[in-house]
Chains A and B, each alone.
Chain A
Amino acid sequence: DGGITQSPKYLFRKEGQNVTLSCEQNLNHDAMYWYRQDPGQGLRLIYYSQIVNDFQKGDIAEGYSVSREKKESFPLTVTSAQKNPTAFYLCASSTTGNSYEQYFGPGTRLTVT
């Protein structure tokens, strides 16, 4: 059963703590993406990676970090430097040459208090 998994579905953290969100795909896709979704703001790109060991900043990368050591995995760390970390985080992937057709995971809702 191919797809993208994100875990956990809900995550609670105290302010000042770093937290890592998991994203795994078994679609054999080269490209992977992280988005943040806030009410009325649409989907905003945090980071994306088109190949293993390489990634680029999106529109709102400040306070976030990523790694891409394996093709299947693209974890996102929300650091304590992110001023408003509470949001719904979505991971996606696509094949090379089809970036407009992205497959999304179910999302992780992060709440920081």
Chain B
Amino acid sequence: QQQVKQSPQSLIVQKGGIPIINCAYENTAFDYFPWYQQFPGKGPALLIAIRPDVSEKKEGRFTISFNKSAKQFSLHIMDSQPGDSATYFCAASPNRDDKIIFGKGTRLHILP
């Protein structure tokens, strides 16, 4: 119930393509869904976050889609670039003061 399941584990996309990373959860108490981006040898950084009352959120080339009834959410990267190559983590939290649960990560590689 506390897990966030993330897929795929790794993804290779040509430059300009649209990589899609999917996440699913069971706990309906989750109320915040952030995505983090991590470059090799660095700490993760918050990329974008969404709440269940919103079906889609965009920040630049990054878009989160949220399906509350299916308990699924996904990250799309438009016009992907080699500089987007990183590991992406989805996460979930039941409220603003609780710990967050991370998915296992997706290693994305954008080919030049």
Contact = CB atoms under 8 A, between A and B. Distances in A.
Contacts, number: 60
B44 A100 contact: no
B76 interface: no
A41 to B, nearest CB: 6
Given A40-B9, A42-B89, A100 B43 contact: no
A50 B43 contact: no
B34 A101 contact: yes
Contacts of A41: 104
Interface residues on A, range: 20 to 34
A100 B98 CA distance: 8
B104 A96 contact: no
A92 B96 CA distance: 16
B49 A100 contact: yes
Interface of A: 4, 33, 40-45, 48, 50, 58, 90, 92, 96-107
